[in-house]
Amino acid sequence: MTHKILRIDSSIKSEGSISRQLSDDILARLKSSYQNAEVVTRDLGANPLPPTDAHWLGSFATPVDERSPAQAETVALSDTLIAEIKDADTILIGLPIYNFAAPAQLKTWLDQMARAGETFRYSETGPEGLVKNTRAIIAFSSNGTRLGSDIDFASKYVRHMLGFFGITDVQFVASDHYAIDADSSLKAANEGVAAIAA
CA distance 27 to 119: 25
Is the residue at 69 inside a domain?
no
Q: What is the model's pLDDT at position 198? A: 66
Q: At what angle do helices 18-33 and 182-194 cross, to 10 degrees?
A: 20
Range(s) of the domain holding residue 120? 3-46+84-194
Is the residue at 70 inside a domain?
no
Q: What is the model's pLDDT at position 100? A: 97
Q: Coil, strand, or helix at residue 157? A: helix
Cα-only R_g, the chain: 17
Q: Is residue 164 within a helix (H) or strand (E), and if so which, with residue range?
A: helix 155-165
Q: Is residue 95 within a helix (H) or strand (E), and if so which, with residue range?
A: strand 90-96
CA distance 144 to 135: 27
Q: Judge whether 18 is annotated as a binding position.
A: yes
CA distance 90 to 98: 25
Least reliable range by pLDDT among 19-23, 57-61, 192-196: 192-196
CA distance 140 to 97: 7
Q: List pLDDT tens digits, range 4-47.
A: 999 999 999 989 999 999 999 999 999 999 989 999 999 999 99
Q: Judge whether 175 is annotated as a binding position.
A: no
Please say if the pLDDT value at position 197 is more than 80. Answer: no
Q: List pLDDT tens digits, range 73-115.
A: 999 999 999 999 999 999 999 999 999 999 999 999 999 999 9
Sign of CA dihedral 84, 39, 4, 101: negative
Is the residue at 72 inside a domain?
no
Q: Output the pTM of the full model.
A: 0.95
Q: Judge whether 11 is annotated as a binding position.
A: yes
CA distance 134 to 167: 6
Q: Which amino acid is at 51?
A: P
CA distance 106 to 108: 5
Q: List pLDDT tens digits, range 117-156.
A: 999 999 999 999 999 999 999 999 999 999 999 999 999 9
Is the residue at 58 inside a domain?
no
CATH code for the domain in which residue 27 is found: 3.40.50.360
| Average pLDDT, rounded, for the chain | 95
- The number of folded domains in the chain is 1
Q: Which amino acid is at 4?
A: K
Is the residue at 53 inside a domain?
no
Is the residue at 152 inside a domain?
yes
DSSP lists the bridge partners of residue 46 as none
Is the residue at 55 inside a domain?
no
CB 134 within 8 A of CB 167: yes
